[in-house]
Structure 1
């Protein structure tokens, strides 16, 4: 059984220009970090010219399909039925992207098949993680 899901998506960068620029992005889910999803933007798509990766809760992405969610660095909300808006807040500024909601739903369905919602804790090896923390503390 796979431990990692990666799904390319087309993101539309919201800018001052009337036409939104399309940029590639990838949604990631790893059963070893079962509560989180990542969204990466390749270096050519960023202002800094380096790959940018945002990590946030899988539940935030799921809840953001039906209503505004998030109060921190990442916020998610629906935009009609067919678009989902993700806002990424950083000290350098805010990036706002639209992605197809069907892509988000498909990605979340695949993650739920891998690790069902409410069963994430079963993927964690707390004894191992605690041992690693203690090893690093010495």
Structure 2
């Protein structure tokens, strides 16, 4: 089975002071980093933002509020559409506020992507080669 899962979705981005606009979200999962999902948002060939999300938090966000700090997720409905609302807080501005954006994704598409990732690495079977990592870190300390 392929250890990589990739899905490209059209999502709706709402940045401060704007209405929703369509952008692409490239979601990727690599079994070598089993706890993370990478989300790259782009428009017209330009990367707008890239975030590493916790896979379990992404799954929890489909069922209820999840996340604290810079990333917050929760289910949302827009008419007949079931969406995942992803709120991202970015860098600090000189005035002390932070950049802020909200992305709305079609929840069934996110769920299908997650099901594919769980076929690659089932929940609870994630592992990180801690011994090899520590050996690499310690060998560089000499």
TM-score range normalised by the length of the shorter chain: 0.7 to 0.9
Q: What is the correspondence of 1:25-104 to structure 2 with a 5 Å cutoff?
A: 25-42=25-42, 44=44, 50=47, 52-80=49-77, 82-92=82-92, 93-104=99-110
- Can you give the 5+ residue segments of structure 2 that lack an aligned partner in the other structure? 93-98
User: Residues 22-52 of structure 1, C-alpha deviation per residue, up to 9 Å, x if partnerless?
Assistant: 001111111111111110123647xxx5452
What displacement does 1:131 show?
Answer: 1.4
Calculate the TM-score normalised by the size of structure 1: 0.86
Task: Report the TM-score when normalising by structure 2.
Answer: 0.84
Higher helix share: 1
Q: 2:23 maps to which residue?
A: 23
CA distance in 1, matches of 2:134, 2:140: 10
Q: Considering only aligned residues, what root-mean-square deviation do their CA atoms show, in Å?
A: 1.9
Give structure 1 regions of 4+ aligned residues with deviation exceeding 6 angstroms: none
